[in-house]
Amino acid sequence: MDDDRPLFFHVMAYADDADHDVIDMVSGDPDWEPPTALREGLREFADAPVADYQYPPSEGRGDLRDLLADRHDVPVERLVVTNGGGEANHLAMACGLEAHAGNEVILTDPVYPYYADRAELLGADVTYAPVADDGALDPETVRAVASEETALIVACSPNNPTGAVYGESVKRELTDIAEANDALYVSDEVYEAFDFSGRFHSALAFDSENVAVTNSFSKAMATTGLRVGYAILPDHLVDPVRTRHMLTNVAVTAPGQHAALKALRETPDDYYAETRAMLESRIEHFCEALDAAGAEYIQPQGAFYVLARFDGFPGTLDNTKRLIDEAGVAGMPGDAFGSAREEWLRFALVSPRADEAADRLAAYFS
């Protein structure tokens, strides 16, 4: 099985081993503070009664599910709390593949590599729909390849790695295509909190039996290690997902659920607004530096990644290492994200030194 971990690890280890200063922009681990209430939630749990330390309900704590269902305006029965957005996505893909006819998964190219690896683990065939130069997804490219063989369409918006935000009309089209082909559209919305375009639109709005939405607190609350996420499922997938979740994981960590609930209840909107503004500022500075370096890049509309191509400097593993050695900046080779952007490099703007990294790249390439 191919996966991006060895490549991530390889690049991170290479950067760590460097005997000079390297700014790490390899993986998508937030570098800013989680909400105060999240830390307080863990502190509270440390003193919780013994009963709170035991199995929570397999589908998630009732009060956490109620709050999330209320925020998303869906019946609580459709919501299952998972071990991060990763498990939510895995469950939606696994149960969607079983419940829908066909064995094909349609993914975008470039792609978040876990989708492709999960499809392989589940024995599905992958068909790629290439996105436009600016990262936009034309639903017609998906429609052109969709057929009765299609069981799943999996797409992330705001997107990793392109930063594109697929707006209402794109998501409506993807939903229509799923409905027309008896497929499930899995809409991964984990970067929902980081939309700079104002165009984010949840696929839940279409109220379709062919849509599952996966989400988590990992990015929005800067805590990828907490492992609390959730799936919102169409009725026919609720029982299969709950069963598979129970037999895979039994339940989701109780201290994490407690902390996530407290953070959901008590975190002011300012927290999210400030994070978004900080990321927007990093992206602006970074893109200015890319302009100065004469690089081609996709202007992100959301999330916190920038895909860029430097003239005469394809984004191979060798060049990734050269950039670590000679510019002191670590990114990811483009071929980790499908075949469409092999020449590119992805930079995760999750370092307090993102501006400095931008300046280093501008200096190195100009």
Residues that bind a second copy (CB under 8 A): 1, 3, 5, 27, 29-34, 39-40, 42-43, 45-47, 50-56, 58, 83-84, 86-87, 90, 114, 117-118, 121, 222-227, 240, 243-244, 246-256, 259
In sequence order, what are the beta bridge partners of 55?
A: none
Q: How far apart are CA 124 and CA 93, in angstroms?
A: 10
Non-local (6+) Cβ contacts of 274 within 8 A are none
Query: Shortest distance, CB of residue 29 to a second copy, whole angstroms?
Result: 4
Residue 59 vs 104, nearer CB to a second copy: 59
Residue 118 vs 282, nearer CB to a second copy: 118
The encoded tokens of residue 60 equal 């998630």
Residue 39 vs 321, nearer CB to a second copy: 39
Of 168, 223, 226, the C-alpha closest to 199 is 168
Query: Shortest distance, CB of residue 128 to a second copy, whole angstroms?
Result: 19
Residue 52 vs 325, nearer CB to a second copy: 52
Q: How far apart are CA 214 and CA 221, in angstroms?
A: 16
Query: Shortest distance, CB of residue 253 to a second copy, whole angstroms?
Result: 4
The encoded tokens of residue 197 equal 């375009």
DSSP label at 199? Answer: -
Residue 107 vs 146, nearer CB to a second copy: 107
**Structure-token match 């690089």, residue found:** 295
Q: How far apart are CA 167 and CA 175, in angstroms?
A: 12
Non-local (6+) Cβ contacts of 123 within 8 A are 103
Query: Shortest distance, CB of residue 1 to a second copy, whole angstroms?
Result: 5
Query: Shortest distance, CB of residue 105 to a second copy, whole angstroms?
Result: 13
